[in-house]
Amino acid sequence: MRPSTAFGQQRYNYSDILCFEPRSPFELHNPRVTHMNKAFVREPEFDGKAYCPECGSLGTRVGEETLDHHVQPERRSRLGDTAWFCGFARCEIAYFDLFESRVSVDELQSPIYPKDAGAPICPCFQFTMEEFEADVEDGVPTRIRGLLEKSKSGEANCRVLAADGQCCMREVQRLYMARISNRGD
């Protein structure tokens, strides 16, 4: 701000304080504020979405039981009771929180899908990509239908065993439909 002097005293020019540019004599006496200090701006409400600090992908919220199962015990203290799973296959981050604490793929207890294509796509029933590919080759989703029936049973423990804490059927069906449409069948 530029101080101006009036009658030997230092004072501040209102245009510097209010950050306005008068366009008419009326606005000179009735300023229109065009900029505001961020201290007076309300922060947006948290909408429950979190993005991976490494790759920017939208994360999937997971609970304590999922984290306890997948993260090595000595690394588990980095995250609280909830965190987010980064489902982008080529990202090295597996879990993260809002304070940018991270757990990398190397710090997990075992390989997980989609970070490792050799890991079961369904950890509850050990359904692998080989079984998935066999259904694609056959052109009939026999194994996938069997997995669907199993996933509806009480034996499914997706909340704990799946890396994202979600049932795998949505992803399996999406992958199957994408592969079938790409084949042109």
Q: How far apart are CA 90 and CA 93, in angstroms?
A: 9
What CATH number matches the domain at 60-107, 1.20.1730.10, 1.10.10.60, 3.60.21.10, 2.20.25.270?
A: 2.20.25.270
Q: How far apart are CA 134 and CA 185, in angstroms?
A: 15
* Lookup: tokens for 5: 């002097």
How is residue 94 annotated by DSSP?
Answer: E
SS3 category, 12: strand
- CB-based burial label for 73 (10 Å; 0-12, 13-18, 19+): exposed
Q: Is the pLDDT of residue 119 over 90?
A: yes
pTM confidence score: 0.73
Element housing 161 (H / E): helix 158-161
Give the pLDDT confidence of 59-72 residue by residue, as tens digits: 999 999 999 999 99
Give the start-to-end residue ranges of the domains of the chain: 3-40, 60-107, 129-183
